[in-house]
Amino acid sequence: SLTMAAATSELRVDQLPSDPLLHVLSYLGFRDLVHCSYVSRRLNELSKHNPLWKSLCSKHWLVSDVDRLQSGVSWFCLFKQYYRDLGRYIQYYPVLKRAWEQLKSFLQQKCPRMIASLKEGATEVELNDIEAQIGCRLPDDYRCSYRIHNGQKLVIPGLMGSMSLSNHYRSEVLLDVETAAGGFQQRKGMRRCLPLTFCFHTGLSQYMALEPAEGRRMFESFYPCPDQTAQDPSAIDMFITGQFSSLLFQLCAAGKMLVCLCVCRYVHDKSCVATTGDITVSVSTSFLPELSSVHPPHFFFTYRIRIEMSSNASPEAACQLDSRYWKITTSDGNVEEVQGPGVVGEFPVMTPGKVHEYSSCTTFSTLSEYMEGHYTFHRLANKEEVFHVAIPRFHMVCPPFREPQKASTRETPRLDDHDDDGEYCDGDGDDFGDLRGINMAALEGAWCPRHI
C-alpha cells in the first residue's frame, strides 16, 4: 500500500525545503528566475532571495558590494534598476564594461593623461536622437560602448592608435557620437557610413557601414581606400577591421599598445622573439592603411624592433652593432636580400640591461611576406670578436579587403521602416561634416627607407 501511495503522489518542486530549492534556483538565469516567481506564492518569495540576485548583478552588470551599499536598495531591486536602463545591451554590457575597465587600468599605469580625454557615457535619448538625425539604426554593441564612454575629446594621443615613423605621424581619436554623426557619409562610394575614428594628421578614419550598400555588409568596420585604377573616382576598396566590438577588444591586450608611453597599433606575436647569448631581439608589426592601396597593389607595413641585453650579462659582454642582414620572402616565392651598416643610421652600444628600440618599414605588392635575418656585433673589449645576433622570422599579412561592388537595386531597410513612432529623417540631403576618409594630399611625398 505504501508503494501504491508513493506511485500516485505528485512530487512538487516548490514543496522542497528552502535550502535545496534555493540551490536549484541558483542555476537559473534571470529570465527563468522571473518565470519561476509566477508559479506560486512560495517560489515568488524565494526567487527574490538576495544572494541569487547578487550573483546575477555581478555577472551581468559587474556590480560590487560597495555599489550595492551606495545604492541603498536590495540586490533584486538593483538588478531591476540596471535592467530598466541597460537591458537591451545585456549580452554586450559585461564584456564591453570589462574591456573598458582593463583599458583604463592599463592607461592609468602607462598613459594617465589619456584617461582624462574619455567622455562620460551618452544617454539613451542622445543615441536615439542621433539615429533620427542620420536615418539609420546604430548597432547595439556600439550603443552599449557609448553608454559607458562617449568617445574621447579631440586630443593627442588618440585612443585608437598612435605612432611616429620617419616623417609620418598617426593618431586616431575615438569620435564621440555627435561628431561621428556630423561626418555621416551620403556621397557616392561611401553612402550610409559612420566614422568611428579620425586622425588630424592623415585625415584617416575607420568607418562603420550602417546599411548593406555599395558592397559593404551591415555593421562592418573598415578603412576606405580609393581605387586608384578605376575610372570612377568614387570607387572605394575597403580594408576590413571587423565589428565595432572587436576594435575595442584589440586595445585591451598589453604589448599591442605601448611604445614610448604612447598608445599605438603595433601587434606583437609571442613567437617573434630570438635570443642569442645575452641579447634578445623581438619584433612587432603594424599595417598602415593610409599609405596602402588595393588597386594598384601596394601594402605598407611598419615594424618595431627591440634589442635588449640581459641585465645578468657580464660587463665584458658589452658590444656594438655594426651591420644588418635581411632576407625577405614574399608570398609568390620571390626572395630579396638586403644588408648595410647600422640600423636607421645608428650603431647602438649594448651593455648589461640596455634596451634599444627602433622602427622601420617596408612595402610590397603581394598579400603577405616574412622577414628574418641577423645583426653583426663586435665586442667593445675586443673588436676582433665579431658575432651574429639572430632576428626572428616575422610575418606581415595584409588584412582582409573587399573590392567595390555595384550597389544593389533592392531597397535597404531604413529607420522609418521599423520606427514605431513614425519619425523619419530624410537621408538624401547634402553631405555632413568634414570627415572625408583618407586625405591623399597629406600622403604626397610620404617616404620611408626599406628594411633598416
- Domain limits of the chain? 2-89, 95-251+402-443, 263-397
Q: Above 50 in pLDDT, residue 448?
A: no
Contact 369, 398 (CB under 8 A): no
Q: What is the residue type of 174?
A: L
Q: Where are the alpha helices (DSSP H) in 149-214?
A: 177-182
Which of the pair, 109 or 450, is modelled with greater confidence?
Answer: 109
Q: Above 80 in pLDDT, residue 258?
A: no
The residues near 444 (Cβ < 8 Å, ≥ 6 apart) are none
- Quick one: pLDDT at residue 451? 54
- Quick one: pLDDT at residue 443? 27
Mean pLDDT, the chain, as a whole number? 83
Strands 197-198 and 173-174: antiparallel
Looking at the chain, the whole-number percentage of residues with pLDDT higher than 90 is 59
Which of the pair, 165 or 363, is modelled with greater confidence?
Answer: 363
Q: Above 90 in pLDDT, residue 259?
A: no
- Quick one: pLDDT at residue 168? 85
Q: SS3 for 146?
A: helix
Q: SS3 for 400?
A: coil
Domain boundaries 95-251+402-443, corresponding CATH code: 3.40.1580.10
Q: Tell me the pLDDT tens digit for each residue of 285-295.
A: 989 999 999 99
- Quick one: pLDDT at residue 414? 38
Which of 58-67, 389-398, 408-417 is predicted least confidently?
408-417
Q: Tell me the pLDDT tens digit for each residue of 307-330.
A: 999 999 999 999 999 999 999 999
Q: Above 70 in pLDDT, residue 193?
A: yes
Average pLDDT over residues 413-422: 37
Which residue is associated with the grid cell 645578468? 312
Q: How far apart are CA 97 and CA 100, in angstroms?
A: 5
Q: Above 80 in pLDDT, residue 429?
A: no
Q: How far apart are CA 283 and CA 268, in angstroms?
A: 7
Which of the pair, 188 or 406, is modelled with greater confidence?
Answer: 188
- Quick one: pLDDT at residue 115? 87
Q: How far apart are CA 160 and CA 162, in angstroms?
A: 7
Looking at the chain, the whole-number percentage of residues with pLDDT higher than 70 is 81
- Considering only the C-alpha atoms of the chain, give the largest distance between any 2 of them, rounded to a whole number of Å: 103
Pick from 438, 131, 168, 423: nearest CA to 289: 438
Residue 306 pLDDT grade (very low, low, confident, very high; cuts 50, 70, 90): very high
Residue 14 pLDDT grade (very low, low, confident, very high; cuts 50, 70, 90): low
- Quick one: pLDDT at residue 241? 86
Average pLDDT over residues 240-250: 73
The residues near 211 (Cβ < 8 Å, ≥ 6 apart) are 136, 191, 192, 218, 412, 413
Q: Where are the alpha helices (DSSP H) in 210-307?
A: 244-250
Average pLDDT over residues 10-22: 78
Cis peptide before 296 (omega within 30 of 0): yes
Task: Output the pTM of the full model.
Answer: 0.79
Residue 250 pLDDT grade (very low, low, confident, very high; cuts 50, 70, 90): low
Q: Tell me the pLDDT tens digit for each residue of 64-95.
A: 999 999 999 999 999 999 999 999 999 999 99
Q: Above 50 in pLDDT, residue 437?
A: no
Q: How far apart are CA 318 and CA 211, in angstroms?
A: 60
Which residue is associated with the grid cell 540576485? 53
- The CATH class that applies to domain 2-89 reads mainly alpha
Which residue is associated with the grid cell 603577405? 368
Q: Above 50 in pLDDT, residue 382?
A: yes
Average pLDDT over residues 338-355: 96
- Is the four-CA dihedral 78, 81, 83, 86 of positive or negative sign? negative
Which of 134-138, 184-188, 298-302, 402-406 is predicted least confidently?
402-406
- Quick one: pLDDT at residue 417? 39
Domain boundaries 263-397, corresponding CATH code: 2.60.40.1470
The residues near 209 (Cβ < 8 Å, ≥ 6 apart) are 192, 193, 216, 217, 218, 219, 220, 221, 222
CA distances from 6 to 25, 49, 95, 220, 304 (A): 26, 32, 49, 61, 76
Q: Above 60 in pLDDT, residue 428?
A: no
Residue 268 pLDDT grade (very low, low, confident, very high; cuts 50, 70, 90): confident
Which of 122-131, 150-159, 251-260, 366-375 is predicted least confidently?
251-260
- Quick one: pLDDT at residue 246? 66
Q: Tell me the pLDDT tens digit for each residue of 130-188.
A: 999 999 999 999 999 999 999 998 876 788 877 878 788 888 899 999 999 999 999 99
